[in-house]
Amino acid sequence: MKKTSTRLADGRELIYYDSRDDVVRDAQDLRPLDATSTATELRYDPLLDQWVVIASHRQGRTYHPPADECPLCPSRDGRLSEIPDSDYDVVVFENRFPSLTNAAAAVLSSADGTVGGSGPLPDLTRPGVGRCEVVCFTSDHDGSFADLTPAQVGLVLDAWTDRTAELSALPGVEQVFCFENRGEEIGVTLGHPHGQIYAYPFVTPRTERMLAAAAAHRRRTGRNLFDDLLAAERAGGERVVVAGTHWTAFVPYAARWPYEVHLYPNRRVGDLRALNDAERAEFCTLYLDLLRRFDLLFDPAGGSRTPYIAAWHQAPVRSAPPGGGGEPALHMELFTIRRTVGKLKYLAGSESGMDVFINDVSPETAARRLREVSP
């Protein structure tokens, strides 16, 4: 992999990841861009003990442009985009409309990074310091992640890993989250195959709950919760979709979404940086297999694409759960909001109001269906 870093016209960083070492990336961004303007802050919710990101500047972000105006396509035929070069393998760049940005540090007013707000309690506000990046998986506007070759997936995995390392080293970053949203039903506003990476200045609520559960399990049993869950699914097999030498994909026992698959390396590691060569190679083929199964779920002919979210769960950069012993494990969660042909799973009253999910598809049925639609 060859990595080339450059700057866009407004100062944002852009990084090319190429499979060939002889590629030269010296194209300049010729757009007359103004400097980015962001207004992002963190507000603390004392009732739920978590932070909420307020990013009002994102109301003006690019929204469903026509294909010939896609900002994620290469710059070609006189049309300039976010990627100055006329072609690319994988590109990562700072989001022009970020939810979190290091520029927010300019509003710091105290040594501990808090800013007194007008909320019901003092010190409920902090600047939204962090970083948000866009990952373009391919220059093919009409493609998808499932269309990539294993070698191309390997390059994306290399980019995810490199960004995890780089972002983890930034001051104040506590967790790095790599993810992909696909499909308008999910809320995607750009059709080009892409994902994102968030570098949070706190440990996310979902991860904190996992870590607390793992710490409690350790205290009760002396064992690691993630190891026990994986071992139980592999031993039972009813909810296993694909089992490889180095990875296992299974529908969790208490799945929240109609079709939800968790993908674990069989050897527990904390984040992407710890994967060895064999694990990285098998991931590329097994993950493509899963994505293609998702596309076949609702269209056996393979003519449509299933909307999904693919989310990497990695260990926090520095934080540990209260009491220690959490030993978090790297894994991916892949799920779709589609529950059957033409019908979506909406987060209605119980889910949105009380965070109690009601699943219309049994996990065992979902696993069986995913096994049956082998690509």
DSSP string, 241-306: EEE-SSEEEE--TT-SSSEEEEEEESS--SSGGG--HHHHHHHHHHHHHHHHHHHHHS-TT--S--
pLDDT tens column, 282-297? 999 999 999 999 999 9
- pLDDT surpassing 60 at residue 118: no
Q: Between the ranges 30-44, 56-70, 246-260, 312-326, where is the mean pLDDT highest?
A: 246-260
pLDDT tens column, 196-253? 999 999 999 999 999 999 999 999 999 999 999 999 999 999 999 999 999 999 999 9
Homologous superfamily of domain range 2-200: HIT-like (3.30.428.10)
Instruction: Give the range among 49-63, 268-282, 329-343 with minimum mean pLDDT.
Output: 49-63
Tokens matching residue 212: 């607390």
In the predicted model, what is the mean pLDDT of residues 343-366? 96
Residues 6 or more apart in contact with residue 182 via CB below 8 angstroms: 144, 145, 188, 193, 305, 307, 308, 309, 310
**Is the Cβ–Cβ distance between 168 and 238 less than 8 Å?**
no
Residue with tokens 């932070």: 51
- pLDDT surpassing 50 at residue 154: yes
Q: What share of the chain is helix, strand, coil (3-state, %, to 5)?
A: 30, 25, 45
- On the 0-12 / 13-18 / 19+ scale of CB atoms within 10 A, 79 is exposed
Instruction: For domain 205-372, say whether CATH 3.40.50.10860 is its number.
Output: no
Average pLDDT score, the chain: 91
Residues 6 or more apart in contact with residue 321 via CB below 8 angstroms: 208, 211, 212, 214, 215
| Residues designated as active site | 194
Residue with tokens 């003092």: 122
- pLDDT surpassing 50 at residue 108: no
* Phi, psi angles (nearest 5°) of residue 227: -60, -45
CA 108 to chain CA centroid, Å, is 28
In the predicted model, what is the mean pLDDT of residues 44-57? 91
Alpha helices in the chain (DSSP H): 150-168, 205-221, 225-236, 277-297, 354, 363-372
CB atoms closer than 10 angstroms to residue 324: 11
Nearest to 7 by CA among 27, 22, 32, 37: 27
Comma-separated ranges of CATH 3.30.428.10 domains in the chain: 2-200, 205-372
Q: What's the count of helices (H) and strands (E) in the chain, helices before strands?
A: 6, 16
pLDDT, residue 103, reads: 75
User: Is the four-CA dihedral 100, 105, 110, 113 of positive or negative sign?
Assistant: positive
Tokens matching residue 245: 């030498």
